[in-house]
């Protein structure tokens, strides 16, 4: 018990255990689940003391620790004769399944019953949030919860054997070797109601075991390997102690660098070159099967494996890819002799290229592969929602590889479920909290075949905080702490899709202090629409094709010409060029079309409302002030987006001979855009450091670097000539 609880929480539990015999007598008479009338005792009039009895499963103890913290904050004191008897018990029943809970109250007793340890933990979190908000324990009678999504996962790319090679990843290596970071991250994810931690690396196995069959694959000393193993086991154990499962996602076909060197096979593994043909030699197959089997046996707390069918499986037909995966990966899982979750990822490939592509025939083949996976654990397939830019439209328009096919879910699959990957490659610095977007996303995509969600990034690791200036007051130690509300709004609503804003506000209060949620939630939700509009309007596919908060892509700043030619992700949204084409033909938008000017108007409306609300907010503590400052930055980017779209419309109308004054109008609007950008720079200059970013290669990212590019739009407009 000492291992899991703070000193104060241990004192509370010790107090409760001393008084436990009397409480156990009550349990024996009434049964594990108490009746649920209105709270009979007047806790406010009695001494505000409490005693705790709970199961000793680690997730339960963690939940109880958070609950006792809340009780103490409200003036309750631990006492063997506590007037409030708090019980946290695992009590599976027909209506209390996995991760579910129910809170009941009677005669001075508060019972948190859960279908399993995670359910009790979530119930304790819920009680803690209510009590911290000033709600008396007796008023919690009847509060209950059950998971809306079975899989609520966070994607974290590892910096070792990383998918991408860049200074950003190297800067995260030390922090990711710190178990304290992982414990803090896992604690926050658990409190946000996530139940899966997915770790992504090309091939990490040689950092986990020394292969019995191929010991040359690990060139670490025994002491170095022991340190790595301590880290892995610490991560997996702590996740389990917080009711979370751990999954390891890899790409095919790779080996360790030492193995590649020793046998001169799969030599691309030495530098992480992930596109191209894979090495299908017998020794590579045998190595992969044996080392994965050994990893699964030596790490029983590793719960799942993710399989990728594109990278380094070039030169193989779709059928050959499936056969290799069955011979190697699935056979290794069977050899391990225990249940292992399998996520058989899309895209499948319709040809022999390694990038992944889509066609209905290929997806039908993919479905047959999924249905051929026979394990004792659930099988899933992960689809990228709107490719790498899931924070765009809540409607599904594309997945990795392009067009949507319903082959994977129509008819309803019996043996697997779809999991959505909502990637974020669009905002790494500015804080984001968009509960209305998340709520609508889940509403539109909660289907009988939906197994759950993954959220996370490929080009961002939530570890090292090199975003904030070192001397910034209240500076977060780790990157995820800067974006803590991102995880709160996703995790809480994936657990309860019907969660209202009052409950989310209580969760924010737990992060930043009482009363902050009601202030922050509406303004952050409105401000957070800006990157969604940018991503939807500009349209994007793979990771670096868009970086919304910088208004750029890997090719550079998105100038006025690119805005004119943009093809929005949502087909209901008209691009500038498409709309002007209609006007040139004396036509017009359809009644349900969303025009560029409508997008511009909405962007400006939300931005001005955000700034107006911010003007009425008083002084806040440092972390909250940073949230508000980022909301202001999003607002100025929203004003920039609105006027840039208007300028694009005016300039294209001029070029096409539809508006004689269009060029002058565009120049005036682009001058306003420069003013908006200057506000963005002013709001970030004193808080943010220049940041390494995959999208910008070797040039660190900062908004001030792009002022000249913003100003260059004016010159482009001035030089634009009519074409007719």
Chain centre distance of CA 455: 3
For the stretch 73-127, pLDDT in tens is 999 999 988 999 999 999 999 899 999 999 999 889 999 999 999 999 999 999 9
Residue 177 makes CB contacts below 8 A (sequence gap 6+) with 231
Work out the number of other CB atoms within 10 angstroms of the CB of residue 25.
Answer: 10
Burial of 679 (0-12, 13-18, 19+ CB in 10 A): middle
* 198 torsion bin: left (phi>0), alpha (psi -120 to 50), beta (else): beta
- Rounded CA-CA distance 450/455 in Å is 15
pLDDT at 633: 98
**Confidence class of residue 6 from pLDDT cuts 50, 70 and 90?**
very low
Tokens encoding 636: 């100025």
Q: Is the pLDDT assigned to residue 18 strictly greater than 50? A: no
- Rounded CA-CA distance 221/677 in Å is 52
Q: Is the pLDDT assigned to residue 278 strictly greater than 80? A: yes
pLDDT at 355: 67
Domains contained in the chain, CATH given? 7-145 (3.30.379.10), 151-499 (3.20.20.80), 529-719 (no CATH)
Whole-model pTM?
0.93
pLDDT at 665: 98
What does the pLDDT average to over 29-46?
34
- Rounded CA-CA distance 500/503 in Å is 6
* 31 torsion bin: left (phi>0), alpha (psi -120 to 50), beta (else): left
Q: Is the pLDDT assigned to residue 3 strictly greater than 60? A: no
pLDDT at 37: 28
User: For 403-406, which contacts have Cβ atoms below 8 Å and span 24 or more sequence positions?
Assistant: 403/358, 405/358, 405/359, 405/360, 405/363
For the stretch 225-255, pLDDT in tens is 999 999 999 999 999 999 999 999 999 899 9
Using a pLDDT cut of 90, give the percent of the chain over it: 84
E strand intervals along 448-588: 450-456, 552-553, 556-557
For the stretch 450-479, pLDDT in tens is 999 999 999 999 999 999 999 999 999 999
Q: Is the pLDDT assigned to residue 183 strictly greater than 80? A: yes
Radius of gyration of the chain (CA): 27
pLDDT at 353: 81
Higher per-residue pLDDT: 13 or 622: 622
pLDDT at 44: 45
- Rounded CA-CA distance 520/433 in Å is 9
Q: Is the pLDDT assigned to residue 26 strictly greater than 60? A: no
Q: Is the pLDDT assigned to residue 294 strictly greater than 90? A: yes
Work out the number of other CB atoms within 10 angstroms of the CB of residue 660.
Answer: 10
The dihedral built from the CA positions of residue 126, 127, 130 and 132, taken in this order, carries a sign that is negative
E strand intervals along 533-577: 552-553, 556-557
For the stretch 38-61, pLDDT in tens is 333 344 444 599 999 999 999 999
Work out the number of other CB atoms within 10 angstroms of the CB of residue 292.
Answer: 23
For the stretch 504-549, pLDDT in tens is 999 999 999 999 999 999 999 999 999 999 999 999 999 999 999 9
Local structure of 264: helix, strand or coil:
coil
**Cis amide prior to 253 (ω within 30 degrees):** yes
**Confidence class of residue 401 from pLDDT cuts 50, 70 and 90?**
confident
Q: How far is CA 294 from CA 72, 210, 220, 298, in A?
A: 47, 9, 17, 6
What does the pLDDT average to over 590-595?
96
Work out the number of other CB atoms within 10 angstroms of the CB of residue 470.
Answer: 8
């Amino acid at each position: 018990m000492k291992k899991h609880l703070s000193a104060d929480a241990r004192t509370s539990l010790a107090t409760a255990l001393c008084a436990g015999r009397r409480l156990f007598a009550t349990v024996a008479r009434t049964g594990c689940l108490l009746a649920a009338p209105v709270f009979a005792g007047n806790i406010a009039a009695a001494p505000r003391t409490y005693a705790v009895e709970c199961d000793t499963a680690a997730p339960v103890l963690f939940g109880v620790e958070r609950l006792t913290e809340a009780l103490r904050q409200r003036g309750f004191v631990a006492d063997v004769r506590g007037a409030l008897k708090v019980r946290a018990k695992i009590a599976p029943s027909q209506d209390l399944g996995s991760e579910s809970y129910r809170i009941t109250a009677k005669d001075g007793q508060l019972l948190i019953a859960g279908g399993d340890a995670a359910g009790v933990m979530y119930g304790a979190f819920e009680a803690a949030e209510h009590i911290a908000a000033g709600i008396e324990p007796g008023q919690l009678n009847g509060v209950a919860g059950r998971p809306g999504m079975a899989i609520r996962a966070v994607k974290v790319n590892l910096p070792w054997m990383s998918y991408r090679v860049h200074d950003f990843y190297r800067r995260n290596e030390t922090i990711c070797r710190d178990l304290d970071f992982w414990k803090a991250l896992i604690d926050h994810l658990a409190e946000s109601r996530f139940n899966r931690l997915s770790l992504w690396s090309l091939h990490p196995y040689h950092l986990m075991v020394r292969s019995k069959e191929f010991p040359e694959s690990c060139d670490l000393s025994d002491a170095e390997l022991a340190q790595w193993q301590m880290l892995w086991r610490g991560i997996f154990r702590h996740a389990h102690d917080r009711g979370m499962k751990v999954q390891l996602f890899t790409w095919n076909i790779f080996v360790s660098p030492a193995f590649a060197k020793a046998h001169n096979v799969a030599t691309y593994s030495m530098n992480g070159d992930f596109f191209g043909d894979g090495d299908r030699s017998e020794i590579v197959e045998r190595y992969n099967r044996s080392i994965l089997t050994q990893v699964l046996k030596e790490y029983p707390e590793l719960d799942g494996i993710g399989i990728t069918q594109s990278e380094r499986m070039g030169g193989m037909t779709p059928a050959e890819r499936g056969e290799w995966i069955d011979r190697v990966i699935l056979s290794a899982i069977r050899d391990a002799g225990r249940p292992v979750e399998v996520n058989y990822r899309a895209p499948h490939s319709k040809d022999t290229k390694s990038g992944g592509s889509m066609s209905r025939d290929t997806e039908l083949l993919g479905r047959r592969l999924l249905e051929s996976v026979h394990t004792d654990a659930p099988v899933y397939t992960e689809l990228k929602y709107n490719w790498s830019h899931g924070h765009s439209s809540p409607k599904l328009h594309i997945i990795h590889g392009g067009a949507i096919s319903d082959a994977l879910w129509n008819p309803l699959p019996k043996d697997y479920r779809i999991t959505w990957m909502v990637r974020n490659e669009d905002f790494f610095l500015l804080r984001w909290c968009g509960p209305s977007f998340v709520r609508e996303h889940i509403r539109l995509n909660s289907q009988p075949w939906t197994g759950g969600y993954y959220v996370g990034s490929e080009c961002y690791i939530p570890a090292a905080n090199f975003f904030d200036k070192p001397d910034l007051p209240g500076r977060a130690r780790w990157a995820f702490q800067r974006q803590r509300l991102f995880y709160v709004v996703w995790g809480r609503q994936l657990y309860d899709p019907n969660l209202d804003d009052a409950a989310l506000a209580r969760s924010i209060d737990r992060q930043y202090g009482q009363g902050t949620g009601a202030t922050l939630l509406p303004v952050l939700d409105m401000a957070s629409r800006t990157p969604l509009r940018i991503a939807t309007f500009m349209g994007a596919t793979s990771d670096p094709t868009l970086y919304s908060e910088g208004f750029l892509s890997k090719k550079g700043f998105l100038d006025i010409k690119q805005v004119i030619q943009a093809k929005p992700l949502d087909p209901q949204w008209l691009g500038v060029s498409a709309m002007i084409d209609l006007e040139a033909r004396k036509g017009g938008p359809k009644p349900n079309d969303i025009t560029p000017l409508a997008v511009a108007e909405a962007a400006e409306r939300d931005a001005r409302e955000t700034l107006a609300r911010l003007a009425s907010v008083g002084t806040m503590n440092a972390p909250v002030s940073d949230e508000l400052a980022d909301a202001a930055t999003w607002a100025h980017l929203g004003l920039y987006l609105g006027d840039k779209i208007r300028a694009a419309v005016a300039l294209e109308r001029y070029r096409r001979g539809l508006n004689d004054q269009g060029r002058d109008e565009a120049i005036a609007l682009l001058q306003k855009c420069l003013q908006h950008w200057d506000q963005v720079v002013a709001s970030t200059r004193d808080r943010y450091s220049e940041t390494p970013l995959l999208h910008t290669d070797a040039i660190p990212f900062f908004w001030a670097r792009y002022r000249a590019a913003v100003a260059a739009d004016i010159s482009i407009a001035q030089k634009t000539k009519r074409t007719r």
